[in-house]
Amino acid sequence: MGMKAKELVTRAGLDVNALISELNSAYCDEWLAYYQYWIGAKVAEGKMAHLVANELTEHAGEELEHAEKLAKRIIELGGTPAISPDLWLKESTCGFFAPKDPNALTLLKQNIQSERCAIEVYDKLLHMVQDKDPVTEHLVREILEDELEHEQDLEDLQCSCLGSDKKGCAK
C-alpha cells in the first residue's frame, strides 16, 4: 500500500473502500474475459474461425494486461485483488459466457456482449473517479479505450463473417 495514494484519494472525497471494491469487480471481469476469449479461440469452428481465433487470442492478452493494471492500483490503494478464482464469478459484473457453441459467429456475438458490458463498467468507474483520482482516471481511460476498440474489432469481424455491409450487421 502507498500511504500517500490512499491519502490523496480520501482527501479528494472518494470512499477508498468503495473504489477498491469497484476496481476488484472489474479485476474479476478481466480474468473471466481473459479466459472466455482464450478458450473461445481454442474451440472456434466454422466460417473464418481462424481469423476470429487470432483476434480473440490478441484480446485475451489485452484483458490480462487490464487485470495486471487493476491489481497494481488495488494494491497501491491498500486493497487485495481477488485472490481466488471462485471470487471471479461471484464479484464480476459481466459474468462468463462459456463457448458451448463453438461456432465462430456465436462466439463473436457473446464476446461483443461482454465488451459492451465492460464498456459500461469502465464508464461507470470513470464517472466515479474523474477529477478526483487522476491515477485511476488515467488507468480507466486507457482500459476503456481498449474495450471500445475490442467491441469495434469484433463487430467488424461479425460483418465479415456475415458477408454483408456494415450498415446491416453492426447490431
User: Which chain residues interact with Fe ion by CB under 5 A?
Assistant: 30, 63, 66, 115, 147, 150
Q: Which of 30, 63, 153, 155 binds Mg ion (CB under 5 A)?
A: 153
The footprint of Mg ion on this chain (CB under 5 A) covers a number of residues equal to 1
Number of residue whose CB is nearest Mg ion = 153
Q: Of 20-28, 84-92, 139-147, 148-156, which part binds Mg ion (CB under 5 A)?
A: 148-156
- Residues 11 and 27: their CA atoms lie apart, in Å, by 24
- Burial call 101-111: b when 16+ CB within 10 Å, e when fewer: eebbbbbbebb
Instruction: Give the Cα separation of 149 and 19 in Å (integer).
Output: 25
Q: Which is nearer to Mg ion, 22 or 146 (CB)?
A: 146
Q: Output 9 or 37, the one with its CB closest to Fe ion.
A: 37
Choices 26-34, 44-52, 80-88, 150-158; region in contact with Mg ion by CB under 5 A:
150-158
CB of 7 to Fe ion, least distance (A): 29
Q: Which three cell numbers stand for residue 69?
A: 493494471
In the complex, the residues that contact Mg ion under the rule CB under 5 A are 153
